[in-house]
């Protein structure tokens, strides 16, 4: 039989989650709330496990600590170590919707929470095989108030038919999963409450590398409200002087550290940097339009720069007719390197693409795929 835990208050300030059959009683307490810190703890009031080192006080099943401005902090599960919230309950895709997040339980399986926002089940948790594990439902609109209950309910399945043996059937197994579900719901509720209150909830760090597309990089940085870092500007010195490797890396490090929320980097410079930037990124976007589409645009931009009608790629690096049409020019480089770059990026996609759980995403075609992806990013930051 599933666990049916009534949420007594429905508030983050504190609540009791009591199973209808008295098999579980979880207590949510807000232990600290000020301008710099918000902390919650979750107890199992039935087991009443105490610690001599804590003066006989109850030992929390979980502790959640948020930072200043409601920034995500850390979660501590039982006697485990503190882990970052964005690692414990991560987006299924970094630039995907915040309505869907995942965590890995002590049984080694991945579980996925989805916020539906309508219907009875506001949050639903499924395991990796698609079986229903838990749900958190709000009191239906229009129903009268209940005595001693908010009308909200956390439901957790007691067992899973696809598992034979293992810890989920042990005496502690269901409690572990139930506690993790409760922790996830608490984290969701806090984040959504802050968003609805107009808080600048920007705690899921975004660090994006875009391959050779300044326009998209600037637009994405504006959407995500993080700095745009153009590697061309950092690498080239006036009169086309090149930065040394150490100086280049130092300037990049300073640029990446300017905002703790993240950054969008325009460019790769793999020959100079290797994976220096890409290794720190949460997402690597490979914009791969047809050559016949982007080459005319590149030529137009180069001509505009040549006649001083568009800013150079870096201050003091003006285009010249000789450079534009030489083998060192950007036009010849794009024509001669297009297929080599595509081959290299394709290999990287096979090993680290989003389709295999990696962070690299290819956006090709004539523009329709890019429009859809940007719309999904805008939608993701609204929730």
Q: Could you tell me the CATH number of the domain that includes residue 78? A: 2.40.160
What is the pLDDT at residue 165? 23
* Residue 223 shares a structural domain with residue 344: yes
Question: Quick check: 285 and 363 in contact, CB under 8 A?
Answer: yes
Among residues 142, 162, 196, which one ends one of the domains?
196
Question: Quick check: 278 and 251 in contact, CB under 8 A?
Answer: no
* Residue 181 shares a structural domain with residue 273: no
SS3 of the chain: helix, strand, coil, percent, to 5: 35, 25, 40
What is the pLDDT at residue 309? 92
Indicate the range of 20-29, 141-150, 288-297 predicted with least confidence.
Answer: 141-150
Q: Terminal CA-to-CA distance of the chain, rounded, Å?
A: 33
Beta strand 38-44 with 25-33 is antiparallel
Q: What does the mean pLDDT of the chain come to?
A: 76
* Residue 129 shares a structural domain with residue 39: yes
Residue with tokens 């309508």: 118
CATH of the domain at 217: 3.40.50.300
How sure is the predictor about 212, in pLDDT bands with cuts at 50, 70 and 90? Answer: low
Question: Does pTM surpass 0.85?
Answer: no
* Residue 275 shares a structural domain with residue 315: yes
How sure is the predictor about 359, in pLDDT bands with cuts at 50, 70 and 90? Answer: confident
* pLDDT(237) > 90: yes
* Residue 178 shares a structural domain with residue 220: no
- d(C-alpha 277, C-alpha 264), whole Å: 11
Question: Quick check: 156 and 3 in contact, CB under 8 A?
Answer: yes
Among residues 164, 196, 228, which one ends one of the domains?
196
* Residue 367 shares a structural domain with residue 244: yes
Residue 217 resides in a domain: yes
Phi/psi at 74 (nearest 5 deg)? -130, 160
Phi/psi at 298 (nearest 5 deg)? -65, -45
What is the pLDDT at residue 98? 58
- d(C-alpha 109, C-alpha 119), whole Å: 27
What is the pLDDT at residue 38? 83
Helices 291-306 and 330-352, axial angle in degrees (round to 10): 140
Question: Quick check: 190 and 66 in contact, CB under 8 A?
Answer: yes
* Residue 258 shares a structural domain with residue 296: yes
Residue 170 resides in a domain: yes
Question: Quick check: 149 and 7 in contact, CB under 8 A?
Answer: yes
Between the alpha carbon of residue 104 and those of residues 87, 92, 101, 239, the distances in Å are: 10, 12, 11, 53
* Residue 128 shares a structural domain with residue 105: yes
Beta strand 206-210 with 262-266 is parallel
* Residue 174 shares a structural domain with residue 272: no
- Highest mean pLDDT of the ranges 37-51, 58-72, 303-317: 303-317
* pLDDT(221) > 70: yes
* Residue 180 shares a structural domain with residue 212: no
Residue 282 resides in a domain: yes
Maximum CA extent, the chain: 83
pLDDT in tens, 51-86: 444 444 566 778 888 876 667 788 887 777 888 877
* Residue 67 shares a structural domain with residue 180: yes
* Residue 104 shares a structural domain with residue 210: no
What is the pLDDT at residue 51? 44
Provide the 10 A C-beta neighbour count for residue 312: 17
- d(C-alpha 327, C-alpha 270), whole Å: 20
Residue 250 resides in a domain: yes
SS in 3 state form for 197-226? CCCCCCCCCEEEEECCCHHHHHHHHHHHCC
Q: How many domains does the chain fold into?
A: 2
Phi/psi at 279 (nearest 5 deg)? -65, -25
- The C-alpha torsion from 184 through 185 and 189 to 190, rounded to 10°, is -40
Between the alpha carbon of residue 163 and those of residues 107, 134, 167, 304, the distances in Å are: 11, 16, 10, 65
Residue 201 resides in a domain: no
Residue 301 resides in a domain: yes
Among residues 171, 196, 221, which one ends one of the domains?
196
Q: Both tokens of residue 58?
A: 């109850």
pLDDT in tens, 271-292: 888 888 888 887 888 889 898 9
Domain that holds residue 255: 206-380
Residue 349 resides in a domain: yes
- d(C-alpha 26, C-alpha 6), whole Å: 10
Question: Quick check: 252 and 234 in contact, CB under 8 A?
Answer: yes
Question: Quick check: 283 and 94 in contact, CB under 8 A?
Answer: yes
- d(C-alpha 255, C-alpha 45), whole Å: 49
Residue 347 resides in a domain: yes
């Amino acid at each position: 039989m599933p666990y049916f835990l009534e949420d007594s208050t429905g508030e983050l300030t504190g609540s009791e989650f009591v199973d209808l059959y008295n098999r579980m009683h979880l207590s949510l307490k807000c232990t600290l709330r000020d301008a710099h810190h918000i902390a919650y703890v979750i107890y199992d009031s039935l087991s009443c496990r105490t610690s001599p080192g804590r003066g006989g006080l109850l030992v929390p099943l979980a502790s959640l600590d948020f930072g200043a401005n409601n920034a995500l902090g850390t979660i501590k599960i039982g006697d485990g170590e503190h882990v970052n919230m964005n690692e414990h309950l991560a987006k299924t895709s970094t630039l995907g919707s915040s309505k869907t997040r995942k965590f890995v339980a002590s049984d080694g399986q991945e579980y996925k929470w989805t916020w539906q926002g309508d219907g009875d089940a506001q949050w639903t948790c499924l395991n990796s095989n698609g079986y229903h594990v838990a749900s958190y439902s709000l009191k239906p609109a229009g129903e009268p108030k209940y005595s001693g209950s908010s009308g909200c309910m956390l439901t957790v399945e007691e067992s899973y038919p696809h598992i034979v043996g293992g810890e989920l059937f042990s005496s502690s197994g269901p409690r572990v999963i139930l506690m993790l579900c409760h922790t996830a719901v608490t984290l969701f509720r806090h984040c959504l409450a802050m968003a609805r209150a107009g808080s600048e909830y920007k705690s899921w760090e975004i660090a994006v590398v875009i391959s050779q597309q300044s326009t998209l990089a600037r637009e994405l940085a504006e959407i995500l409200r993080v700095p745009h870092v153009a590697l061309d500007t950092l690498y080239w010195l006036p009169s086309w002087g090149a930065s040394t490797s150490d100086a280049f890396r130092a300037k990049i490090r300073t640029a990446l550290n300017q905002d703790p929320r993240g950054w969008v980097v325009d460019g790769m410079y793999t020959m100079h940097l290797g994976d220096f930037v890409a290794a720190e990124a949460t997402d690597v976007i490979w914009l791969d339009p047809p050559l016949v589409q982007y080459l005319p645009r590149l030529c137009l931009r180069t001509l505009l720069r040549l006649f001083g009608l568009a800013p150079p790629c870096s201050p003091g690096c003006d285009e010249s007719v000789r450079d534009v049409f030489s083998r060192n020019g950007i036009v010849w480089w794009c024509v001669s390197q297009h297929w080599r770059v595509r081959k290299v990026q394709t290999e990287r996609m096979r090993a680290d693409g989003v389709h295999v759980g990696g962070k690299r995403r290819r956006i090709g075609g004539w523009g329709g795929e890019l429009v859809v992806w940007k719309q999904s990013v805008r939608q993701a930051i609204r929730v």
